[in-house]
Structure 1
């Protein structure tokens, strides 16, 4: 049997940590890189058997993921976020995939999004896929892509058939805080590239983002949750350029 390393990066995930560790217990090793959580996450992790926990200051997502990759001792790596879950069918597919000879370096996974316990079927999330399973020596996250990080893949990519569950929104306030955190990092990324905001970025882009997700990508079919999500996604774009303006000023 080919061995598998499961990797997480965490910050204040006390609500999820027990469940996610239990969910990935099929991995041969579990490594968590925690960014000095203040809500008891680290204490819970320290009490869990068969989990290696490292505390490390957070610089950005790409940097933290690359550090976590370096800690893995097995050739195949499964990256998972604390608010994601792997159903039984996907678990079986993952184990079959790594134990079947193939020339694919990295596999993407489709995710199903949930607001609390309600499935979000539209609002821009219906086509979401992300890299989660790959050969350790074939992947490195692009350093200057510090938010919505992207891996550089050396070799072929594939797509797993089964889906992952993503419980990413506990509340409207939680999603707003996420949007602000991502916006701050994206603003820094744009600043490092020499970008300067203008009227288009402050007003046209946020409006387009809302119309795209709420109307064209059918967010209105997700009810009040869809309205909140699409509004806050647009707000995140506006907030990003406000933060970029502050960095320039």
Structure 2
């Protein structure tokens, strides 16, 4: 059985953690990596855009409050997580913070139900 995994990360001024997290997720062979930036001012979003250009399975999205959107409640975490979930195309979704890491064999453990 082939299970695909999407990681979803909310970020705000996380420049010091981005390189480490992305390296970890790439090493763990996560299929889809989605970041939703809430308006960083430290270069986080620009760094994510660089990764997005280099890797086709990395997406960097800047949160904007669209008019007449179902996501009407501003910067509530629930709404941002729901948006990332809607954008995810994988079988499983992993919500991970920028300063967290997963084991390199995470995907294999999920596939074998040993987590």
Q: Same-fold call, TM > 0.5? A: yes
In structure 2, the residue corresponding to 1:82 is in which secondary structure?
coil
8 A Cα contact 2:34 2:60, kept in partner: yes
Note if 1:68 corresponds to 2:68.
no
8 A Cα contact 2:30 2:107, kept in partner: no
Note if 1:37 corresponds to 2:49.
no
In structure 1, the residue corresponding to 2:15 is in which secondary structure?
coil
Q: CA RMSD in A?
A: 1.8
Corresponding residue of 2:107: 95
In structure 2, the residue corresponding to 1:37 is in which secondary structure?
coil
Displacement of 1:86: 1.7
1:9-48 → structure 2 map (5 Å cutoff): 9-25=10-26, 26-48=29-51
CA deviation profile, 1:62-92 (whole Å, cap 9, x unmatched): 111111111100111111100111233xxx2
Gaps of 5+ in 2: 65-73
Paired positions, count: 99
| Mapped partners of 2:75, 2:38: distance in 1 | 9
- Change in Cα spacing, 1:79 to 1:16, as seen in structure 2 (3 Å) is same
Displacement of 1:97: 3.7
Higher RCO (CA < 8 A, seq sep 6+): 2
Greater gyration radius:
1
| Mapped partners of 1:54, 1:41: distance in 2 | 11
| Mapped partners of 1:96, 1:40: distance in 2 | 33
8 A Cα contact 1:10 1:35, kept in partner: yes
Displacement of 1:45: 0.5
Gaps of 5+ in 1: 103-158, 161-249
8 A Cα contact 1:33 1:56, kept in partner: yes
8 A Cα contact 2:38 2:75, kept in partner: no
Displacement of 1:34: 0.6
| Mapped partners of 1:67, 1:34: distance in 2 | 12
Structure number with the higher helix fraction is 1
1:200-211 → structure 2 map (5 Å cutoff): none
